[in-house]
Structure 1
Amino acid sequence: MTLKAIKFTPEVMLSAPRRSPAVPSPDGKRALFTVSTYSFESHKKTAQIRVLDIESGQSKVLVEDLGASEPNWVGEDEFVYLKGWEKGKTVIVVDSVSKPGEGRYDVATIDGVLGNLKVKKLPSGRIALACSALATPDGRLANPEAEKKPYSSAKIYTGLFVRHWDTWLTENRNSIWYGALEKREGKFELLGNGLTNALAGTGLSSPVPPFGGTGDFDISAKGLVFVAKDPKIDPAIYTKTDLYFVPIVEFTEPKPPSPKIIETLCLEGYTQSPVFSHCGRKVAFTRMRSRQYESDKPRVLLLRDVDNIAPAEEFFETKDGEGAWDYRPESLIWSADDSTLYATAEHQGRTLVWELPADPVHAKDLPTEVKTVEGSVGDIRLLGDSSKKLFVTSTSLIDNSCYSVIDPSHGTASVVSSGSKQGKTFGLNRSSCGEIWFKGAGGYPVHALVLRPSNFDKNKKYPLAFLIHGGPQGAWLDGWSTRWNPAIFAEQGYVVVTPNPTGSSGYGMALQDGIQGEWGGRPYNDLMACFEHIADNLPYVDTNRAVALGASYGGYMINWIQGHPLGRKFKALVCHDGVFSTLNQWSTEELFFPIHDFEGTIYDNREAYEKWDPAQHVNEWATPQLIIHSELDYRLPITEGLSPFNILQAKGIPSKLLMFPDENHWVIKPENSLVWHREVLNWINKYSGIEEETTLTDRTK
């Protein structure tokens, strides 16, 4: 039974069940998904694998096990999943949807941590499977938990890229492992000698850390395609990743053939999202042009035939090399008959589904938008092996998980299941959502999403919560977040405005690329214009009681604002894992980031780093500020939080430091996240006057 929240609070958000994207069955009638829940009463997490009846929208529990994950269909009724086991081992398990638990059995126990499971039925009837796991330098399966611990904790390096995201690098690397399941005497068996390392001896690693997953590889009856960093260039300096094909027929080959690189002519940046056609011969994928720009525009490409490899063909190619489609495609899938591709891409604060012919020769017109439910799409799949419909997982500003069925041919979209009953469980509703457009500093249009309290009264005035996104090449979307959720602030009594200024994605590459060499310039001026637009055009917003918050680049902008006139417009500021000094950008791990955004290295173009350095303006700092930073944040070392806090304290400016020793660039652990939210809300509520209003209201009850 689902209980409706009296008020949407951090506790409600963080303890709400979290659903994974759902995987439709071959006949399109059911879908597998996982759901995890954290209890602040027991201080424990629970996890389930569930099956959804797509027609009724009802679901039932199949597996209840904290270690169970990644369910995949291996028949109309059977599914396989991974189960984490003791001492870093993983069990491959098969179960039945109609009789869960009764026919459950272990297929194999693997001495390592497996993840990113993919399966494919082969013409022989066998089930090919591929997954990721760490490999030792000599290609063996690595299991750090079972290794003998060294007596010394010393780490020695002689090259760049010594740590990444939240981990100091070791000699072990990600690799893709394959195998085959065959049913014998009613049960699946893992054939041969278990799993085989597809990349052994190649010097290649996939998926690409820190965020690579199932989107970095795919399998078919023809073999394996995968994305890997170019081993000949430094991964700290360059973003180049290549696509490779390995011909594998039975998925029992003890030694796979050498990978074949796929040429892409003038494109040599990030490669992402390879996906085989259903016939198994073609591969669609995306690739960026620049080898030193992580947020460059991905182009859609086609590898026409893996049996006769030739350079990939680009969709919407132009003579100037810019590409005609101005948006950034992310994931791709093929239609059942391989005639159409569907892509996800951001567009003006939302992630939508787009349709295009599956051959560049026929792609004369730009992709067309496919009707979806409100919000942002996170995952698209076919509704069954031969269906013309799509099964979509999405979220919105008010809904944490929505499964829907889309019919592109008829332009219809219908909700199958919503994790929060489209916001009702949280006491949220769509009428609270809005948006504004205003003129940026250069006269160009700039967009912002607006979220009002659920009990909004247009005759009242509400303090402003001004949220600044990170990236900087990113955007606020009409989507759900458990880290920066606008509804949390709105339900405290704020009108929340989330602007997407220069540097934001989803509005064309000119706006996004306009931030290069302009970190504190055009984006700051756009934010100034947004604040003025709110003051002049939203009578229900009290800008005299405004607060501003940001993380990562948004944290940089908070520190920049603090030293400039916009900083005096706010009663309080919150900086999460922000840049204090741009001169310290070379303490990060991915050096290609500052090289691109500051147009060169710090030793070749120091003036560009100095120009937009918040630390140069600390004499102007005056607004109360909360600093949040974590010790495992290797993107921005903790000194970037300690330095501004020390300055605020030394200057006598009201300030507070919140530090997490066990979090990275994000605060993920539920108990830590709850503290984060309480500290942030207490800070802004104190200075905006909401705390006083709440106290007065409580006294009059």
Structure 2
Amino acid sequence: MTLTATKFTPEVMLSAPRRSPAVPNSAGTLALYTVSTYSFENHKKTSQIRAFDIASGNSVLLVEDLRASEPVWLGDDEFLHLESGDNGATKLVVRSAVAHEVASVKAPISNVKVKTLPNGTIAFACSALATPAGQLHNPETEEKPLSSAKIYSSLFVRHWDTWSTENRSSIFYGALEHHDGKYSLRDNALVNALARTGLSSPVAPFGGTGDFDIGPAGLVFVAKCPELDPAMYTKTDLYFIPLKTFTESRLPPPQLVKTPGLEGYSNNPVFSHCGRKVAFTRMRSNQYESDKTRLLLVPDINNPGETTEFYATDDGQGGWDSRPDAIIWGPDDTNLYVTAEHHARTLIWSLPSDPSKAASALPTPLQTPDGSVVDFHVLTPTSPTTLFVTTTSLIDNSCYSTTTPGHPSPPTILSSATKHGRAMGLTRSAISTLSFRGAGGAYTCHALVMRPSHFDPARKYPLAFLIHGGPQGAWADAWSTRWNPAVLAEQGYVVVAPNPTGSTGYGMALEDGIRGEWGGRPYNDLVNCWEAIEEELDYVDTARAVALGASYGGYMINWIQGHPLGRNFKALVCHDGVFSTLNQWCTEELFFPIHDFEGTLMENRAAYEKWDPAKFVSEWATPQLIIHSELDYRLPITEGLAAFNVLQAKKVPSKLLMFPDENHWVLKPENSLVWHREVLGWINKYAGIENESGVAGQVQGLRLD
């Protein structure tokens, strides 16, 4: 398998291997990961489980089977993985030199976690859908109703891309026992930890292993507050269920972990190595999904009523102006390592695990490779501590490295896809940043800039202006197969991706500044960015500019259509955008418009009307491609249809691309290829670039061991 493509095209990107973060074993010698590929020649996907040898940088194939997923270590050379079976069943398979089936669960399960208990038994936990009676739900074997009618009498009738049913996500547990060289699941059964509690975890639609953890003391998990409407409020609480053997069939009610003054999302609970402490994050507001996360500690999980916040301040704002996310404990439990965004990167930060000791200084970032951290683990318990890190960047879809906290030496790169990128000209030299004044000159904003691999400073290149979604989000120095600046740059554009008001990673003042300002401060920031491009990037031909955006970025495309900035572009692309803010109550998570528009539609209709793109359709004049999908319940497809209908009625050149089987994202490889071809064909036509969206050179494959 060798790389023969000479140009980075959508086909090259979409057919390149997608390598998961790698998880090292306890000895720090091997790391488990998965890798999948899609072939546009035979229209098939392949999937492998591999082991990465940390010392040599080589890898070995362990399993090649589309049915195999979620490998987790049981020991230094034994691992467990899931294997989907017939009729929706799931097998638990353990492999070393010889593979054997541990159990067969008569339903789909996922999000596996294991933990060795003091008695040598391995605690096992996973998530699965449960019926109202608390039993495992298998959609393959359930009795099919005679009618397709769905009847609701409460909110959350649908979420993300599915209609709600009576079945809810739940956490199941059991114990893996080792006898005569083989593992078995005790009693060949799993117990629903949340049966009859009224609680559901992981939290849909994106909850996973980060929503719960297991340890010698039992199970901690986050769940939506059952007393509040889940469509109107973000509140998720942390709960603790004591378990000693993970064979218990009768459980006490879950114990609530109390966090006075903090009532928003709870996330990422992680047991300390001693099993007594738990670190986690929580937001303050119960109607703001992008609120600042606070790092908290439960000093003794057997006393869940006592918690301490790191960097707490009297005004409630917190002394660290960042949003901690993933958490791991140092080997001796004296340190915490957390990830947090910072100026278009996600970094690892180190701090003492005792809040009183941490208060003396803010967290410090560790040295990691260029780009953003997506996963990390303690490699060995020896001193000094070494972390095994997985990162991505704008030119690298997967990089494994090690870093030593507190050590001045740079990280050690173990395996990287950058060498494949270099074969097509993708290098760090193509990436830079642009600073520009914010609205009113009161703050500074930043943008990522990416140039073509064949860049010649003496030439001028058309501009591809990218507007990010969220709106509380950011363009990051990270890989993407949906919005990849390198794909646009290799068509011959200079790509500018600004992070205006609302962007994360630049402090909470900039992020929170978008509330009640959807078409205000962010729009003015983008106007200032355009002016900075004209003044500072003399190699950009702004007379051949195009703009593209999705979600909130799609809203902004529709907004600038009706405002002066829209006349600066030759063509626009709107993916899953908002046509009218008055339709925001067609969404599923109503807490989102309630927060961003400062009240409900009934309480503050004027705020919704103020920033409504539909008010300005009389000004729409720039050619526009509309993309929308029928399974997008965040922004129903009628938003795309309305925008397309207006453009067509006004005789503005326009095109509609619709996917009946995609949600807010276009994920299926064949659909994604069509998406890229249509987008590139549209903007290239108006920017005066010959359509080069096809394959340049045969792609036999990209080997990424």
Q: Is 1:377–1:395's contact at 8 Å kept on the other side of the alignment?
A: yes
Q: Distance in 1 between matches of 2:692 and 2:291?
A: 46
What is the CA-CA distance between 1:460 and the residue it aligns to?
0.6
SS state of the match for residue 421, structure 1? helix
SS state of the match for residue 11, structure 1? helix
Q: Distance in 2 between matches of 1:693 and 1:106?
A: 49
| Aligned counterpart, 1:321 | 316
Structure 2 counterparts to residues 490-509 of structure 1, below 5 A: 490-509=489-508
What is the CA-CA distance between 1:437 and the residue it aligns to?
0.8
| Aligned counterpart, 1:91 | 91
Q: Distance in 1 between matches of 2:380 and 2:399?
A: 18
What is the CA-CA distance between 1:145 and the residue it aligns to?
1.2
- Of 306, 311, 323, the residue aligned with 2:306 is 311
Q: Which piece of structure 1 moves more, 254-263 or 58-67?
A: 254-263
| Aligned counterpart, 1:208 | 203
Q: Is 1:265–1:311's contact at 8 Å kept on the other side of the alignment?
A: no
Structure 2 counterparts to residues 516-665 of structure 1, below 5 A: 516-665=515-664
Q: Distance in 1 between matches of 2:251 and 2:411?
A: 43
| Aligned counterpart, 1:437 | 435
Q: Distance in 1 between matches of 2:431 and 2:230?
A: 41
Distance 1:503 1:575, change over 3 A: same
SS state of the match for residue 396, structure 2? coil
Q: Which piece of structure 1 moves more, 353-362 or 471-480?
A: 353-362
Q: Distance in 2 between matches of 1:639 and 1:86?
A: 38
- Of 126, 135, 139, the residue aligned with 1:140 is 135
SS state of the match for residue 583, structure 1? helix
| Aligned counterpart, 1:267 | 262
Q: Is 2:491–2:692's contact at 8 Å kept on the other side of the alignment?
A: no
| TM-score where L is the length of structure 2 | 0.97
- Of 366, 370, 391, the residue aligned with 2:366 is 370
How many residues align? The count is 691
Q: Is 2:3–2:420's contact at 8 Å kept on the other side of the alignment?
A: no
Q: Distance in 2 between matches of 1:498 and 1:309?
A: 44
Structure 2 counterparts to residues 155-166 of structure 1, below 5 A: 155-166=150-161
- Of 405, 408, 411, the residue aligned with 2:405 is 408
Q: Is 2:9–2:693's contact at 8 Å kept on the other side of the alignment?
A: no
Q: Is 2:681–2:691's contact at 8 Å kept on the other side of the alignment?
A: no
Q: Which has the higher contact order (CA 8 A, sep 6+)?
A: 2
Q: Does 1:114 align with 2:109?
A: yes
Structure 2 counterparts to residues 328-367 of structure 1, below 5 A: 328-363=323-358, 364-367=360-363
CA displacement, residues 441-495 of structure 1 (integer Å, 9 cap, x when unaligned): 1211000000100111111100000000000000000000000000000000000
Q: Is 2:103–2:188's contact at 8 Å kept on the other side of the alignment?
A: no
Q: Distance in 2 between matches of 1:25 and 1:557?
A: 46
Give the gaps of 5 or more residues in structure 2. Answer: 697-705
SS state of the match for residue 362, structure 1? helix
What is the CA-CA distance between 1:76 and the residue it aligns to?
1.2
Letter in 1 for 2:563: H
| Aligned counterpart, 2:37 | 37
SS state of the match for residue 558, structure 1? helix
Q: Is 1:4–1:426's contact at 8 Å kept on the other side of the alignment?
A: no
Structure 2 counterparts to residues 134-283 of structure 1, below 5 A: 134-283=129-278
Q: Distance in 1 between matches of 2:597 and 2:5?
A: 46
Q: Is 2:425–2:454's contact at 8 Å kept on the other side of the alignment?
A: no
Q: Is 2:574–2:624's contact at 8 Å kept on the other side of the alignment?
A: yes
SS state of the match for residue 242, structure 1? strand
Q: Is 1:4–1:427's contact at 8 Å kept on the other side of the alignment?
A: no
What is the CA-CA distance between 1:258 and the residue it aligns to?
1.6
| Aligned counterpart, 2:120 | 125
| Aligned counterpart, 1:392 | 389
Q: Which piece of structure 1 moves more, 406-415 or 529-538?
A: 406-415
CA displacement, residues 273-311 of structure 1 (integer Å, 9 cap, x when unaligned): 100000000000000000000000000000000123332
CA displacement, residues 223-255 of structure 1 (integer Å, 9 cap, x when unaligned): 010000001100000000000011001111112
What is the CA-CA distance between 1:427 and the residue it aligns to?
3.5
Q: Is 1:573–1:623's contact at 8 Å kept on the other side of the alignment?
A: yes
What is the CA-CA distance between 1:192 and the residue it aligns to?
2.4
Q: Distance in 1 between matches of 2:424 and 2:605?
A: 49
Distance 1:640 1:65, change over 3 A: same
Q: Distance in 1 between matches of 2:19 and 2:382?
A: 26
| Aligned counterpart, 2:702 | none
| Aligned counterpart, 2:701 | none
CA displacement, residues 615-634 of structure 1 (integer Å, 9 cap, x when unaligned): 00000000000000000000
- Of 368, 381, 392, the residue aligned with 2:377 is 381
Q: Distance in 1 between matches of 2:62 and 2:400?
A: 19
What is the CA-CA distance between 1:574 and the residue it aligns to?
0.1
Identity %: 69
Letter in 1 for 2:302: D
What is the CA-CA distance between 1:682 and the residue it aligns to?
0.1
Q: Distance in 1 between matches of 2:423 and 2:691?
A: 28
SS state of the match for residue 104, structure 2? strand
Q: Is 2:676–2:693's contact at 8 Å kept on the other side of the alignment?
A: no
Q: Distance in 1 between matches of 2:23 and 2:366?
A: 20
CA displacement, residues 633-664 of structure 1 (integer Å, 9 cap, x when unaligned): 00000000000100100100000000000000
What is the CA-CA distance between 1:194 and the residue it aligns to?
1.4
What is the CA-CA distance between 1:365 and the residue it aligns to?
1.0
What is the CA-CA distance between 1:438 and the residue it aligns to?
1.0
Q: Distance in 1 between matches of 2:6 and 2:478?
A: 22
| Aligned counterpart, 1:61 | 61
SS state of the match for residue 442, structure 1? helix
Q: Distance in 2 between matches of 1:27 and 1:495?
A: 46
Q: Distance in 2 between matches of 1:208 and 1:121?
A: 26
| TM-score where L is the length of structure 1 | 0.97
Q: Does 1:302 align with 2:297?
A: yes
Q: Distance in 2 between matches of 1:32 and 1:5?
A: 29
What is the CA-CA distance between 1:269 and the residue it aligns to?
0.3
Give the gaps of 5 or more residues in structure 1. Answer: none
Letter in 1 for 2:462: P
Q: Is 1:422–1:429's contact at 8 Å kept on the other side of the alignment?
A: no
Letter in 2 for 1:429: T
Q: Is 2:681–2:693's contact at 8 Å kept on the other side of the alignment?
A: no
CA displacement, residues 183-225 of structure 1 (integer Å, 9 cap, x when unaligned): 1111001112411101111000000011100000001011010
SS state of the match for residue 82, structure 1? strand
Q: Is 1:558–1:574's contact at 8 Å kept on the other side of the alignment?
A: yes
Query: What is the RMSD of the two structures over their aligned residues, measured on CA atoms?
Result: 1.3
Q: Distance in 2 between matches of 1:643 and 1:504?
A: 28
Q: Distance in 2 between matches of 1:83 and 1:694?
A: 37
Distance 1:425 1:270, change over 3 A: farther
Letter in 2 for 1:256: L
Distance 1:559 1:694, change over 3 A: closer
| Aligned counterpart, 1:675 | 674
Q: Is 1:89–1:112's contact at 8 Å kept on the other side of the alignment?
A: yes
Q: Is 1:238–1:291's contact at 8 Å kept on the other side of the alignment?
A: yes
Q: Which piece of structure 1 moves more, 415-424 or 475-484?
A: 415-424
Q: Distance in 2 between matches of 1:46 and 1:591?
A: 39
Letter in 2 for 1:492: Q
What is the CA-CA distance between 1:694 and the residue it aligns to?
10
Q: Distance in 2 between matches of 1:32 and 1:694?
A: 35
